[in-house]
Chain A
Amino acid sequence: MSKVIIACQTISDELNLAMRATGCSYPVIRMASDYHMDPNLLRAKLQEEIDKLTDFQDVLLAYGCCGNGLVGLKASTAGLIIPRTEDCISMVLSRPGEKFERLKRTYFLTRGWLQGSKSIAAEYEHACERYGEARARKLFKFMLKNYNYLMVIDTGAYPLADCLSKAEELAGNTGLEVVVSKGSVWLLQKLLTGPYDEDFSVIPRGGTVNSSHFGMAGAAPAHQAI
């Protein structure tokens, strides 16, 4: 076997679509979404998985830089191939060859993001249970004071209707406006098929991921794990 995929559960739907579209059948190790809240923990958990691998030439990491959670990873058992992107938002909203500009005052959602145990929906439910609905609304008004929009990204990888109705309910409770934007799984598909051009960083076995592998902090010396 030559390649294995390690992917965040958050983009499970999108990875499944990309695999179907490309006929890819590499084994997939799926990691809990919650690690993204703690980049150090994410790095440690990913390293654990990489260290356990045997007989693979390359690991395809279905991640972005993810709060520097991937910076510092060692290609201990196989080469690492990583999309040069900031996080899963830029991964599904960017377009080939274009610089990604993050929309301001916007909270992003897909079905995968809603399903996380610490998703905004889970947060709201928890707040309602603990503090009652009126207080929860006040807390969320405060929490989301810098946001105007709740953007549902239609990646084509899941039925939009369910996600949209949950988003509308959430928006009603938090005073945000729902917008829908078309996303894409082109970068994930390219991760599965190659070519591994400027959209990816390839870290040979024995190497270490650094920030320049994500096209950020380009001027930093290679030894700096930014």
Chain B
Amino acid sequence: MKDWGEKEKELIKYVEQLDEENVLKLADELLNAGMDPLYLLDLVNEGMNRVGKLYESKDYYIADLIMAGLIFKQVLGLDKMIAQFQVGQINKIGKVLLGTVKGDIHDIGKDIFRGMLEANGFDVMDLGVDVPKEMFLKKYEEYAPHILGLSGVLTTTVDTMKEVVDAFVQAGVRDKVRIIAGGNHLTAEACRYIGADGFASDASVGVKICKEWMSCAGGQGAIHHG
């Protein structure tokens, strides 16, 4: 593989610093010089992880997370990236049905998770916010996803997420889909109560869990708790 030297570090740094202009300029330059789009995405992901850490350490604000998401989207929109992902259409690694559960309209984490899933080769159907359990079930029947992602921020969404899982049990389809719950109020115990197969309070951890599930080739595996 070609040695990109300092350019790699520079790209990660620009993402970390949310330097939109330089991220796009350098990403374009590297892609035109022959960098594998998937490798470039790994570098951008590393920058995104650093942004996440800076948010956790209170150095960054929510607006910065949103800016990071917008930069990420623009990188995915570069010509060579679009070409890569169009070719990759037939090689999607899995389908995820995603939404913020009823009673909650928070979606910043969900949107970051969706972007990272797509960048990692997943096909995602995002139902938006305040999604009732009936809608999750209806779209499950239409879309037949491998994974169902339930998102929420409010404390009460633990119960709402459980209601969605229960609806899937009642419909007899619970065993056909892996369920991941997302939100910073979740714990392993809450995850068990909800009846989800895994949970994450960090989008990158959530993506890691989904990738692990898909690498199990849809088989039954251990419950993953991020």
Residues of A within 8 A of B (CB): 34, 37-39, 64-69, 71-72, 86-87, 102, 104-105, 118, 122-124, 126-127, 130-131, 136, 139-140, 142-143, 146-147, 211, 214, 216-217, 220, 224-226
| CA of A191 to CA of B192, assembled, Å | 32
Supposing A146-B129, A226-B187 touch, asked if A65 and B66 sit within 8 A by C-beta, the answer is no
- Dominant SS among interface residues on chain A: loop
Known: A67-B154, A68-B155, A216-B155. 18 other contacts (CB 8 A): A39-B184, A65-B155, A67-B155, A86-B154, A102-B154, A104-B105, A104-B130, A118-B62, A122-B61, A123-B63, A126-B61, A126-B63, A140-B63, A143-B66, A147-B105, A211-B193, A216-B156, A224-B192
- The reply to whether A226 and B61 form a contact with Cβ atoms under 8 Å apart is no
- The reply to whether B185 and A68 form a contact with Cβ atoms under 8 Å apart is yes
Supposing A123-B62, A146-B129 touch, asked if A38 and B184 sit within 8 A by C-beta, the answer is yes
- The reply to whether B105 and A146 form a contact with Cβ atoms under 8 Å apart is yes
Residues of B within 8 A of A226 (CB): 158, 187, 189-190, 193
Q: Does B123 contact A (CB under 8 A)?
A: no
- The reply to whether B156 and A68 form a contact with Cβ atoms under 8 Å apart is no
Contact with A along B165-202 (1 / 0, CB 8 A): 00000000000000000001111011011000000000
Residues of B within 8 A of A (CB): 18, 56, 58, 61-64, 66-67, 70, 103, 105-108, 129-130, 153-156, 158-159, 162, 184-187, 189-190, 192-193
| CA of A122 to CA of B156, assembled, Å | 27
Residues of A within 8 A of B58 (CB): 34, 118
| CA of A68 to CA of B186, assembled, Å | 8
| CA of A34 to CA of B156, assembled, Å | 21
| CA of A143 to CA of B107, assembled, Å | 9
| CA of A179 to CA of B189, assembled, Å | 38
Q: Among A65, A102, A220, which residue has the most Cβ atoms of chain B within 10 A? A: A220
